[in-house]
Homo-oligomer: A and B are copies of this chain.
Amino acid sequence: MSDLHEDTAALLAEAKTPTRRPTVAALEEKLFRPVHVLDHGFVRVIDYMGDDAAIVQAARVSYGKGTKSQRNDRGLIRYLMRHRHTTPMEMCEIKLHVKLPIFVARQWIRHRTANVNEYSARYSILDREFYIPEPGQLAEQSNSNRQGREQPLSSEQAQAVRDILRRDAMTCYDTYTNMINDDGTGEKIDPNAPQVARELARINLGAGYYTQWYWKTDLHNLFHFLSLRAHSHAQYEIQVYAEAIAEMTKLWVPMAFEAFEDYRMGAAHFSTDEVKILRAALDGVSLREFLKGSDLSAREVNEFRKKLGKI
């Protein structure tokens, strides 16, 4: 499993072909070039279809002359995003090549509306590459957030954890190599030992080992992915991938991305009761008084304050 696919050299060549398809110069510059993520991972754009104008074009097919009132593309895209008219966003597609730890892949794959070709450890041999968190990322279990981390470890503690993670990963890989008894050429290392089937040997490798895949999705589903995985509640190790992809998306469809940030990433959602409270507050009722008398649970009151930056 080489980091970059063997014909990458060819792909990276400056050779360009003329096309009549919509082309995004800013993204063309980045095509095939890996953006490094975590200690051994990367993301790179392999192909894309469509641009901001393709979203507008699809919306205009739907609405016909009904879109004439939207004087410009930016306004129309913002309108679509605001009102969750998502089908025109589906008219853009992107294909990525990602190298990522298995535990990240396990979260990522839950996004079902995507096409995936993953490296198969039944067919081929996994490399000795595994994720060791940076010391600053090694943190204690959060008490308030059951699925999060909180207080970073001391640098000694962090170093100890890193050492033991590396030790276990190396031990397991040595076992793997011994079991498959293959130096990658198909030749036996130990001529007297068996070559255990790869599909069995790989079960000894941990969730920190790297895999890779081609992942292709449309812009609507990409935004959904980003809204969940670039979110502060996502696990750090998938967040960094989401952020790298967000940067690429910004180059690809700058208007749609701006609308996504304004209406999705930075937006807040208020429940029926919360809207009532907001209305009363704007009419001069003290927020503090109102919350006291409300049906909101303590947890909801906290979430409400957080959304308004009143913590």
Please give the residue numbers on chain A whose beta carbons come within 8 Å of chain B beta carbons, in ascending order: 1, 5-7, 11, 15-23, 28, 31-32, 47-50, 54, 57-67, 69, 75, 79, 82, 87-88, 90-91, 93, 95, 97, 101-103, 106, 109-110, 112-113, 115-120, 122-125, 131, 133, 137-142, 146-151, 153-154, 157, 161, 164-165, 168-169, 171-172, 175, 178-180, 182, 184, 193-200, 202-208, 212-214, 216, 218, 235, 261-263, 265-275, 278-279, 281-282, 287, 297, 299-300, 303, 307-310
Contact A262 B266 (CB under 8 A): no
**Known A-B contacts A195-B140, A214-B91; A124 and B66 likewise in contact (beta carbons under 8 Å):** yes
Distance in Å: Cβ of A288 to nearest Cβ of chain B? 11
Distance in Å: Cβ of A73 to nearest Cβ of chain B? 11
Contact B157 A194 (CB under 8 A): yes
Chain B residues with CB below 8 A from A97, complex form: 61
Contact B49 A202 (CB under 8 A): no
Closest B residue to A171 using CB positions:
B168
Chain B residues with CB below 8 A from A124, complex form: 63-66
Distance in Å: Cβ of A25 to nearest Cβ of chain B? 8
Give 7 new A-B contacts, CB below 8 A, not counting A47-B54, A102-B106.
A7-B57, A62-B123, A147-B198, A147-B199, A165-B175, A169-B204, A265-B272
